[in-house]
Amino acid sequence: MRALTIICLLFSQLGLGQNIGYQLTSKDTLNTFSLSKSSSITGPMLETHASDFENLIVTIFKALPFPAQPFTMIRANSPESIQIGKHSYDELEHHTFLIYNIDSVSLLNLKAKTRFASLANIAHLAGHHGFNHFKAWPDDNLKNKILRSDYMAGWLMAKFNVPATDANKTLNALIAAEGSSNEFPSLKERNNAISLGYQVATESVKSPLASIENTGSIESGWLQQWGRKIEAPQYLIELEGATCASLPLALDRQGQLIYTANGQSVVIGRCMPSKDSRYAYLLYDNTFHYWLIRKDGTISNASMDRELGHVDISNLLDASH
């Protein structure tokens, strides 16, 4: 087996359940580290709090709106609060690890001046895990991965009832002084991604994929507010059959789901590679409602009890290697 590869995706550097409501208890947010005032703390960190912190990780990862993927938590003495990485078995399969330092974790809430800092940090890392960012994907650069995970963090924080005023505090506290580079998104871009994810979760935005699945149409209101217009791609892979055939839908070479109408191309969803042997990709929208694309190109709903169409993914597969 290959050696363990650790990729640090901490908030300070770069930063699968269903969509249901979650309410953290006082133990989840206060036992790990409580902040009563900016100059004082309650609930000092004890050895037993490592299990509380791991329970918090499990709770957040279970709230991911995609199929569950395995991961392992390891306590270590590395200075970073929490890191995410992978152990590669071969070119296709890997296992996710979260390595944390319980002493560094205890300082997160104090630094960010919010009792939800640990939650925010874990939610960002959960995004990297949920989106399967360790697998190769065409035109999937580091900046996109960070912003996508920030969006997921905002969405998860809303689902955990984190106050809107606290949603961005952790990010601002940990990376505001670091500056930006061409490789990493700016602090403003990252704050916007978190805020957008939070907004979509709290406004209960309707899912375009769910609309197609249920009515065979896309609501014009969603297209106007959330659809991202792009130049017409040179190459498109059409979705055919059943529900998909009623609309002009196609995938581009980057796995974006394109809806074309009145001479305009609008992105309404995006594919990501899967670790599940039953299918090749997930196709999801901004609410994280998703479809499955099996290895033979058959498109089905999330419960796999209804086929929605078919797509020739051979070119998409070629582009991902």
| Tens-digit pLDDT profile for residues 152-190 | 999 999 999 899 999 999 998 887 655 556 778 889 999
- β-bridge mates for residue 271, sequence order: 283
Strands 290-294 and 249-251: unpaired
Name the range with the highest mean pLDDT among 77-91, 187-201, 250-264, 269-283.
187-201
**pTM value?**
0.84
Report the C-alpha gap between 302 and 179 in whole angstroms: 40
Output the pLDDT for position 310: 92
Tell me the pLDDT tens digit for each residue of 103-132: 788 778 788 888 888 899 999 999 999 999
Distance CA 164, CA 184 (A): 25
Task: Provide, rounded to the nearest whole percent, the portion of the chain with pLDDT above 70.
Answer: 80
- Look at 16 and 128; give whichever has higher pLDDT: 128
CA-based Rg of the chain, rounded to a whole angstrom? 20
Residues 71-74: contacts with CB within 8 Å, 24+ apart? 71/95, 71/96, 71/97, 71/98, 71/129, 72/96, 72/97, 72/98, 73/97, 73/98, 73/99, 73/100, 74/98, 74/99, 74/100
C-alpha dihedral sign at 296, 300, 305, 306 = negative
Is the pLDDT confidence value at 202 over 90? Answer: yes
Q: Out of 172-181, 223-232, 249-258, which region has the weakest mean confidence (pLDDT)?
A: 172-181
Residues 6 or more apart whose CB falls under 8 angstroms from that of 9 comprise: 15, 83, 84, 124, 125, 128, 146, 149
Is residue 71 pLDDT above 70, yes or no?
yes
- Checking if the pLDDT of 101 tops 80, the result is yes
What CA–CA distance (Å, rounded) separates 24 from 52?
12
Q: Which residues of 149-185 are buried (b: 16+ CB within 10 A; e: fewer)?
A: bbbbbbbbbbbbebeeebbbbbbebbbeeeeeeeebb
Is residue 104 within 8 Å of residue 121, measured between CB atoms? no
pLDDT above 90 covers a percentage of the chain that reads 39
Q: What is the pLDDT of residue 317?
A: 60
**Average pLDDT of span 62-80:** 87
- In this structure, are strands 264-273 and 256-261 parallel, antiparallel, or unpaired? antiparallel
Q: Answer whether residue 221 shows pLDDT above 80.
A: yes
The answer to whether residue 7 scores a pLDDT higher than 50 is no
CA distance 152 to 150: 5
By CB neighbour count within 10 A (0-12 exposed, 13-18 middle, 19+ buried), where does 312 fall? middle
- The number of CA neighbours under 13 Å toward the Cβ of 197 is 28
Structure tokens at 42: 């309650």
